[in-house]
């Protein structure tokens, strides 16, 4: 699915419309409900966009007539399609007008700058991010908790990039930044522990919420019973308010709540084993109710209409429990709040001693291992002049790439071996190096303009992009620079399912994987082509075209890094 305001989106829409019209004109019935047009990711010499073979059943004669009709629809069309053919691999293959498309894409990047690929905020799209950590560990000390923090941090930026306003509780703001950028790791742990102190349970609120459960049960017939299957909720004689409600052993029937609300049980829905949950036991609120109270306190400052919904970022081990909490909250009927879960898989690690375990106190070891690797690499490159702040910046990026490299729900394995030379451990540094290299390139150009070696970069409208004849020029534009707006939109597929399911489809790995792939192509291109010439007049048009290509690539790198909460380096 392409972003509505992207150039690709417009091209795909035109192709689908013209193909549909051609089918209608030729009286060809399409057995499928929609036209399946695909953007190619390789072998671009044989076309850029295809209608796959077999997507529409046609005989040889009909194929020729269909092709002629589609070709005719693009004659004089303002779309970027320059040629339509049939080949052995696809029913139709569409070729883009490369110079025209490059000019349009690079002009858009030049005009939009840091807003390229970022959607405007929309009213009514306000989301609360609610991270749920392991009850047995302090935030930041468990690798799984650290992964939750990384996911939450990145999710905030990609939701905002898609036009949402994002809210977080006070204690969860800045935790990842504090952990990764603190100069003293032990001090960071203490700060994270202090942040949690403000999140203590307030027992006086439990009776208020329980009263709401009982009141709603009386009005709607909600299944609410004690352990002996008899109602045990009542007010003390003469009590004037619900805060004096006495409850001995209250149990909620979650299956009935699921049935009442027509919720889905199964894949991406609620667990089939959800049954009854204790709300009060021995006249004391259970831990489930305590967590419901804490959640309510975090939402207390928002009005009924201020929040669109809440995303619970939950470790896989606590997903079942969080569903119990969510259903109990629904039983309260306090806020008409959409809720969903983003499940985060466990993190296993392999340390210097070998062996693979889910280490609960290994986040600091993980950071130290990556820090030592980045320090060693910096000293190899810069000698004793290696900058400590730069080492921290490289380490932060490597940690984020490690934690966000896989889809959130997939279990993650990390190698904590501080002596490891694996290139996969240095992908974050590789990304920052490419960003720094492009920043340095543009800085060198500016200095040569100041000294009179070059004229200033002409307006993008005056650039002849037909000079970008190399295949890797086109791949940078087509596969990465033009694709960035769609990547941002595709990262947020579905926040709140409307079919009774509870699992959000938020792809927090897409930006990281895009950056890794983009930088590999960018590095190969940079090594193959010398951008800045000696100032010879006949070479300047190509140099200016390549400078706009590199400038746009640098802007996409900057915007992508901002989605990870990373400040791009300004020099090598």
Residue 387, classified by CB atoms within 10 Å of its CB into exposed (0-12), middle (13-18) or buried (19+), is exposed
Q: Which of these ranges, 52-56, 403-407, 409-413, has the smallest mean pLDDT? A: 52-56
Contact yes or no for 27/65 (Cβ under 8 A): no
Mean pLDDT, rounded, of the chain: 81
Q: In 10 A of CB 432, how many CB atoms?
A: 25
Q: Which two structure tokens, joined as six digits, stand for 93?
A: 């293959």
Share of the chain above pLDDT 90, in %: 44
The CA–CA distances, whole Å, from 374 to 350, 513, 571 equal 19, 21, 17
Asked if 142 and 179 count as a contact pair (C-beta separation under 8 A), the reply is no
Q: What is the pLDDT, as a whole number, of residue 538?
A: 84
CB 537 within 8 A of CB 544: no
What's residue 207's pLDDT? 53
Sheet strands side by side (includes 276-281)? 224-225, 250-253, 276-281, 284-285
Q: Six-digit token pair at 245?
A: 């409600």
What was the pLDDT predicted at 348?
86
Rg (CA), the chain: 28
What per-residue confidence (pLDDT) applies to 323? 96
pLDDT digit string (tens) for 365-406? 888 888 888 888 777 777 666 677 788 888 888 999 999 999
Alpha carbon distance 349, 332 (integer Å): 41
Residue 375: which region, alpha, beta or left (left: phi > 0; alpha: psi -120 to 50)?
Answer: alpha
CB 252 within 8 A of CB 280: no
Is the pLDDT at 43 greater than 80, yes or no?
Answer: yes
H/E run at residue 525: helix 510-528
Q: What is the pLDDT of residue 524?
A: 95
Q: Which two tokens stand for residue 483?
A: 């694709």
> Residues with Cβ < 8 Å from 462, sequence gap 6 or more?
none
CA dist 236 and 1 (Å) reads: 59
The stretches of 247-387 forming alpha helices (DSSP H) are 254-260, 287-299, 319-332, 363-382
- Residue 213 has what pLDDT? 54
Question: pLDDT tens digits for 200-227?
Answer: 545 555 555 555 555 444 444 444 444 3
Q: pTM for this structure?
A: 0.86
DSSP 3-state assignment of 36? coil
Sign, CA torsion 89/92/98/104:
negative
């Amino acid at each position: 699915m392409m972003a509505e305001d992207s150039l690709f989106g417009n091209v795909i829409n035109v192709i689908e419309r013209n193909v549909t019209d051609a089918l209608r004109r030729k009286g060809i019935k399409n057995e499928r409900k929609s036209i399946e047009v695909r953007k190619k990711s390789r072998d671009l010499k044989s076309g850029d966009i295809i209608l796959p073979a077999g997507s529409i059943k046609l005989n040889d004669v009909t194929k020729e007539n269909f092709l002629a009709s589609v070709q005719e629809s693009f004659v004089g069309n303002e779309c970027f399609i320059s040629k339509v053919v049939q080949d052995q691999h696809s029913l139709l293959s569409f070729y883009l007008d490369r110079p025209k498309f490059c000019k349009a894409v690079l002009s858009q990047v030049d005009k939009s700058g840091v807003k390229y690929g970022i959607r405007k905020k929309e009213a009514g799209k306000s989301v609360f991010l609610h991270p749920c950590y392991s009850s047995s560990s302090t935030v930041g000390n468990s690798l799984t908790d650290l992964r939750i923090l990384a996911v939450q941090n990145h999710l905030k930026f990609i939701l905002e990039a898609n036009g949402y306003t994002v809210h977080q509780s006070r204690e969860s703001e800045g935790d990842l930044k504090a952990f990764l950028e603190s100069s003293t790791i032990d001090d960071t742990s203490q700060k994270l522990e202090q942040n949690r102190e403000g999140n203590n349970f307030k027992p006086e609120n439990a009776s208020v919420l329980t009263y709401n459960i009982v009141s709603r049960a009386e009005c709607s017939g909600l299944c609410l019973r004690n352990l002996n299957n008899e109602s045990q909720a009542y007010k003390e004689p003469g009590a004037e308010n619900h805060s004096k409600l006495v409850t001995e052993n209250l149990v909620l029937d979650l299956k009935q709540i699921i049935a009442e609300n027509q919720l889905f049980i199964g894949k991406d829905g609620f667990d089939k084993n959800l049954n009854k949950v204790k709300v009060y036991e021995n006249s004391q609120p259970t831990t489930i109710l305590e967590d419901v109270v804490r959640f309510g306190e975090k939402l207390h400052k928002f009005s009924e209409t201020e929040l669109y919904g809440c995303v619970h970022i939950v470790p896989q081990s606590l997903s079942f429990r969080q569903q119990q909490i969510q259903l109990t909250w629904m039983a309260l009927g306090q806020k008409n709040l959409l809720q969903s879960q983003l499940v985060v898989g466990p993190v296993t690690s392999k340390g210097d001693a070998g062996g693979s375990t889910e280490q609960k106190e290994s986040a600091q070891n993980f950071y130290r291992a990556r820090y030592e690797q980045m320090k060693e690499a910096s000293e190899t490159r810069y000698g004793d002049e290696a900058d400590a702040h730069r080492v921290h910046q490289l380490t932060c990026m490597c940690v984020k790439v490690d934690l966000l490299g896989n889809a959130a729900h997939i279990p993650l394995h990390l190698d904590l071996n501080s002596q490891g030379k694996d290139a996969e451990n240095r992908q974050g540094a590789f990304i920052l190096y490419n960003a720094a290299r492009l920043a340095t390139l543009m800085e060198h150009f500016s200095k040569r303009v100041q000294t009179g070696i070059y004229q200033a970069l002409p307006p993008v409208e005056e650039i002849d992009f037909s000079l970008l004849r190399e295949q890797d020029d086109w791949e940078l534009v087509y596969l990465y620079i033009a694709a960035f707006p769609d990547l941002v939109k595709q990262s947020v597929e579905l926040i709140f399912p409307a079919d009774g399911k509870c699992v959000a489809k938020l792809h927090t790995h897409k930006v990281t994987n895009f950056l890794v792939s983009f930088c590999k192509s960018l590095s190969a291109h940079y090594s193959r082509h010398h951008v800045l010439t000696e100032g010879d007049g006949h070479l300047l048009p190509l140099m200016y075209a390549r400078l706009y290509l590199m400038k746009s690539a640098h802007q996409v790198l900057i915007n992508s890094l901002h989605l990870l909460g990373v400040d791009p380096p300004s020099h090598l």
